[in-house]
Structure 1
Amino acid sequence: MRLLLIRHGQTPSNVRRLLDTAAPGPALTPLGERQAAALPAALADERIGALYASTLLRTQLTAAPLAAELGLEVRVRAGLRELAAGELEMRGDGAAISTYLSTVFAWSAGDTGRPMPGGETGQEALARIDAVVAEAAAEGVTAALVGHGAAIRMWTAARVRNAAVDEIGHRELENTGVITVSGSPAEGWRLERWTGAPVDAEGPGAAVGPAGETTDELPDTPTA
Structure 2
Amino acid sequence: MRLILARHGQTSSNVDHLLDTAVPGADLTSLGRDQSEALAEALESESIDLIVTSTLVRTQQTAEPLAAALGLEPWVRDGAREISAGVYEMRGDGEAVRAYLELMVAWLEDLDTRLPDGESGNEFYARYDAVIEEVAASGAETAVVISHGAAIRCWVAGRATNIGPEFTTSHELNNTGVVVLDGDPERGWTVLTWEGEPVGGAEMEGAPGPAGETARV
Q: Compute the displacement of 1:110 (Å).
A: 4.8
Correspondences of 1:160-171 after superposition (within 5 Å): 160-171=160-171
- 2:129 is aligned to 130
Moved over 4 A (4+): none
Q: Aligned residues, how many?
A: 204
Amino acid of the structure 2 residue aligned with 1:120:
E
Correspondences of 1:77-116 after superposition (within 5 Å): 77-107=77-107, 109-116=108-115
Q: Compute the displacement of 1:2 (Å).
A: 1.1
Work out the CA distance in 2 between the residues paired with 1:198 and 1:3.
16
- 2:116 is aligned to 117
- 1:210 is aligned to 216
Q: Which runs of 5+ in 1 are unaligned?
A: 212-224
Work out the CA distance in 2 between the residues paired with 1:26 and 1:114.
27
8 A Cα contact 2:80 2:131, kept in partner: yes
Query: Which TM-score applies when normalising by structure 1?
Result: 0.87
8 A Cα contact 1:55 1:81, kept in partner: yes
8 A Cα contact 1:163 1:191, kept in partner: yes
Work out the CA distance in 2 between the residues paired with 1:163 and 1:105.
16
SS at 1:189 equivalent: strand
- 1:8 is aligned to 8
- 1:198 is aligned to 210
8 A Cα contact 2:84 2:118, kept in partner: yes
Amino acid of the structure 2 residue aligned with 1:155:
W
What percentage of residue pairs aligned between the two structures are identical? 51
C-alpha distance after superposition, 1:2-39 (max 9, x if no partner): 11000000000000000011111111011100000111
8 A Cα contact 1:39 1:176, kept in partner: yes
8 A Cα contact 2:178 2:210, kept in partner: no
Work out the CA distance in 1 between the residues paired with 2:125 and 2:157.
11
